[in-house]
Structure 1
Amino acid sequence: MTTASSDILWLTPAARARLQEELDAITRPGAPTMPTVERRVHELKDLLRRSEVSSKPDDGLVEPGMVVSIRLDGDEEETVFLLAQREIAAVDLDIEVYSPTSPLGTAIIGSYPGEAFSYVSPVGATVRGSVISATPYIPS
């Protein structure tokens, strides 16, 4: 089965290992088979099937797996975060994780440094800013 690029889930090696360990634990012989556990098994299998663990090229393109620096209009300081699925947030990272499916994430994916972006926040305000940099995440 092929996976559309929009369905690919970028994960750190540690996050993928954690998800695999969870799946192994709840599918071992003798593990409970309640409906909630069965749903989680299907969810984990789907996440792992769609997962990609790879280094991203250092080309400045904003995409999942990149450490992104942005500046919102009116702010003096940059905001720096890893653009990745929230599932990796459970892994001890020394950086904030923002989802590529969030309003900000969808606004900046495909951008390069120097490009402006805007999105409508959940409260209805238009937020504007610019991409400062995008570099590959390197696990420590």
Structure 2
Amino acid sequence: MDVIRLLALRDTPLSVDEVLAAVGDHAAGGTTVFVGTVREQDHGKRVTRLSYSAHPSADRELRSVAEKVASDFPVTALAAVHRLGDLELGETAVIVAVACPHRDEAFMAARRLIDDLKAQVPIWKHQEFADGSAEWVGACE
């Protein structure tokens, strides 16, 4: 069975339960889940709107990142989902989960998965602030 159990870019709300269920594995002694949410402040400014968009190659790049993590760590199961479109404060923007034989490996692999996703997958964040300013962020945060 492929260790990459779930990869998705979605314009609908994300489910921690779905991601956790996807990485359930009897060979794993440790499972790490990271949930990224829309925060109300960034750069000391109040966020009023936030939207994510992705390049057409984003699915392919997400798979590449996942495959690299799975080859560098003893991953038994891996999942990553990212939200696209308009999000409200507090909504879940990204969830990654990794199951490994031991907890330290699971923590390290999950950290690499979210960091590489942010750095390499072409997902852009547009946020608007209460002061009327806005910014595009070149990779998801």
TM-score by length of 2: 0.25
| TM-score, structure 1 as length reference | 0.25
More strand by share: 2
Structure with higher RCO (Cα < 8 A, 6+ apart) = 2
